Chain A
Amino acid sequence: MSKTTLLGILLAMAALSPFVGTVSLTLTDIMTSGTLSHRIFFELRLPRLLLAFMAGATLALSGLLFQTLFRNALMTPYTLGISSGAILGAGIGMKLGLGSVFLGIGAVSLFGFSGAVLTVLLLLYLSRYLQYDRNNSLLLLGIALSFFYTAALMILYFLSSAMETQMLIRYTMGSLATIGYTYPLIVGITTLLLLSVLHVKRYELHLFALSEEQARLKGVHSERLRLQLLLVASLSIGVLVSLTGPIGFVGLIVPHIVRRLYQKNIARLILPTFLVGGLFLVVCDGIARSISIGSDLPIGLVTALLGGPFFIYLILKQHH
């Protein structure tokens, strides 16, 4: 499949996405202001489309960044324990029974965000004590933290009522449901920040793809740069996970799909990854809403169900 075909299909499906769902909308409906269709489109569907696009773009870009920095094709934005930290934070928020809303963001999300940020700070603090083979050690630290958080979360489940547990499980499945433009705006800002930082640092990233040592030999302040990039990506992921819960698979597969389709070096993959990641999640969300009328099928299931087979197809095709 050529990249133009794929982008065309994704664009067309993404454009259709806000019209499908529990209530099907038509173009004429939404143009008349004051109607229910108009309100559904502009207060629910359009914000949701924007949120899905930004979320997909953030996940894909962070995946690309983490895979390059850690030189590991299996890295995802979640491997460092940032999302587990967010889930644990959100879980604690729910357990405390916090229902209040601050600046349009629920207290549970704020707790999730704190969990993610604290995890990043903890990782950075611990990484100061790593002297050799920093990348692998940081990866191991992140994995160890994830296990720790998961165990702590299990204790929360254990102590919670059935309803609280149900809420927590739904949060861990991820959701793009949103009303109005607060969430898309917040995620949009961090996504665009991540995109611009990666774009500006694209040549340094290309050198990192050789090795951190090579980057230094060519004059890159590798320590400083790695810290900057990790901070920006972790911030974006932390914000995203706290608002939508973890959405799996996009961060792992989109960078690979883009790499195989474009066959370009990393410096030239940043914009394509942003676009394909965003469109991919918009399409997945449209499908999630159209196959489960009446309820909201967790988006993470759809990304895995659609992305998995396509990923396998791409790998097999390359070996022929």
Chain B
Amino acid sequence: MIDASELSCRYNERAYSNNLSFHITAHLNILGANGSGKSMLARTLCGLLPYSGSLTLNRQELATLTPRTIAQTISYIPAKLELFDRYTTVEEFALLGRYPYKEPYAAYSRYDRDAVQETLTALGLDRLKKRRVTQLSSGQQQLLLIAQALIQSTKIMVFDEPTANLDPYNTLKFATLFQQLQRNHTTVLITHDLALVQHLQGSVLFLHDHTATFYTQTEEFFDNDNLNYRYRVAFHPDTKALLYE
């Protein structure tokens, strides 16, 4: 689905990732220290940043695709909802997910509105739909961002540090929802949350010093020696809790 070969990303005259090669068919979890270029890689996958090398989406080079085509294939869920317009309601915010399908110059259709209603109900946001987005809690805002991405109905969903602003309860709720989403979507997850990744399927791309190590299964990455080498943490042999060095 996504294939990268000798991919290098550059932004602000700073190289982020050099000569990465990987391919994503099911699920990819991207780990790495602060500043290792995780977010830059995710944004490159969504067509936001220039790159060199090759990056293909369904065998088509990403740089040749229009923003609209990319938006119909990949959705991006940022860590935090940022909005200049304070008066947007939950319903209106979710409706923006239908933009990639809207005819130019036309208004949103009945079908678009039904899709919004359906998704909001499914995620339990229905009773909040007339509220302003700014009145929601962080957990609810994140749920809304996911709702918008679902309404965008893309095969691939990219999550950028989804649990960074969540409390433990909401993190757990997110993990459950995320696993449900994985059944029908290809997911790319960027996170620092080792405990979250530990319970997820998929492969791991660990970014360090502008290059990357690819693990086909999460178990490989969570091998105690590797974990200790990468993050200077290890699992307690009995309790399986993460321990710091």
A interface residue numbers (CB < 8 A to B)? 68, 71, 132, 200, 203, 206-207, 209-211, 213-214, 216-222, 259, 262-266
A21 CB to closest chain B CB (Å) equals 39
Within 8 A of A (CB), among B56-84: 66-72, 75-76, 78, 82-84
Assuming A132-B12, A213-B48, is B84 touching A218 (CB within 8 A)?
no
Q: Give chain B's interface residue range (CB within 8 Å of chain A).
A: 20 to 34
Binds A, one of B28-36, B88-96, B189-197, B204-212: B88-96
Most buried by A among B12, B66, B86, B87: B87
Q: Give every chain A residue within 8 A of B84 (Cβ-Cβ).
A: 68, 71, 209-211
Assuming A200-B105, A217-B46, A219-B68, is B99 touching A68 (CB within 8 A)?
no
Q: CB-defined interface of B85-128 with A at 8 Å, one 1/0 digit per residue?
A: 11111001000110110100100100000000000000000000
A69 CB to closest chain B CB (Å) equals 10
Q: Give every chain A residue within 8 A of B83 (Cβ-Cβ).
A: 209-210
Complex CA–CA separation, A169 to B26 (angstroms) = 68
Please tell me which one of the listed residues A213, A219, A222, A265 contacts residue B88 in the complex, with CB atoms under 8 A apart.
Answer: A265
Complex CA–CA separation, A133 to B210 (angstroms) = 23
Nearest A residue to B92 by beta-carbon distance? A265
Q: Give every chain B residue within 8 A of A220 (Cβ-Cβ).
A: 67, 99
B77 CB to closest chain A CB (Å) equals 10
Please tell me which one of the listed residues A209, A262, A265 contacts residue B89 in the complex, with CB atoms under 8 A apart.
Answer: A265
Asked whether A217 lies within 8 Å of B82 as measured between CB atoms, the reply is no
Please tell me which one of the listed residues A132, A206, A216, A263 contacts residue B48 in the complex, with CB atoms under 8 A apart.
Answer: A216
Q: Give every chain A residue within 8 A of B82 (Cβ-Cβ).
A: 210-211
Assuming A68-B84, A217-B71, A217-B75, is B92 touching A203 (CB within 8 A)?
no
Asked whether B99 lies within 8 Å of A203 as measured between CB atoms, the reply is yes
Q: Is B152 in the interface zone, CB < 8 Å from A?
A: yes
Complex CA–CA separation, A206 to B100 (angstroms) = 14
Asked whether A219 lies within 8 Å of B72 as measured between CB atoms, the reply is yes
A122 CB to closest chain B CB (Å) equals 25
Asked whether A218 lies within 8 Å of B48 as measured between CB atoms, the reply is no
Complex CA–CA separation, A206 to B66 (angstroms) = 20
Asked whether A203 lies within 8 Å of B87 as measured between CB atoms, the reply is no
Asked whether A218 lies within 8 Å of B100 as measured between CB atoms, the reply is yes
B100 CB to closest chain A CB (Å) equals 4
Asked whether A219 lies within 8 Å of B85 as measured between CB atoms, the reply is no
Nearest B residue to A132 by beta-carbon distance? B12
Complex CA–CA separation, A263 to B88 (angstroms) = 9
Nearest B residue to A220 by beta-carbon distance? B67
Within 8 A of A (CB), among B146-160: 152
Asked whether A217 lies within 8 Å of B48 as measured between CB atoms, the reply is yes
Q: Give every chain B residue within 8 A of A259 (Cβ-Cβ).
A: 86-87
Q: Write 20 A-B pairs (CB below 8 A) sorted by A numbering.
A: A68-B84, A132-B11, A132-B12, A207-B99, A209-B83, A209-B85, A211-B82, A216-B47, A216-B67, A217-B75, A218-B71, A218-B100, A219-B69, A219-B72, A219-B100, A220-B67, A221-B66, A222-B67, A264-B87, A265-B87
Asked whether A219 lies within 8 Å of B70 as measured between CB atoms, the reply is yes
Q: CB-defined interface of B1-15 with A at 8 Å, one 1/0 digit per residue?
A: 000000000011000
Complex CA–CA separation, A209 to B99 (angstroms) = 14
Complex CA–CA separation, A265 to B94 (angstroms) = 13
Q: Give every chain B residue within 8 A of A203 (Cβ-Cβ).
A: 96, 99, 102, 108
Complex CA–CA separation, A214 to B86 (angstroms) = 16
Asked whether A263 lies within 8 Å of B67 as measured between CB atoms, the reply is no
Nearest A residue to B107 by beta-carbon distance? A203
Complex CA–CA separation, A68 to B89 (angstroms) = 17
Assuming A217-B71, A217-B75, is B88 touching A209 (CB within 8 A)?
yes
B97 CB to closest chain A CB (Å) equals 8
Please tell me which one of the listed residues A132, A200, A213, A218 contacts residue B96 in the complex, with CB atoms under 8 A apart.
Answer: A218
Asked whether B85 lies within 8 Å of A265 as measured between CB atoms, the reply is yes
Nearest B residue to A211 by beta-carbon distance? B82
Nearest B residue to A131 by beta-carbon distance? B12
Q: Give every chain B residue within 8 A of A200 (Cβ-Cβ).
A: 105
Q: Give every chain A residue within 8 A of B48 (Cβ-Cβ).
A: 213, 216-217
Assuming A68-B85, A221-B67, is B96 touching A210 (CB within 8 A)?
yes
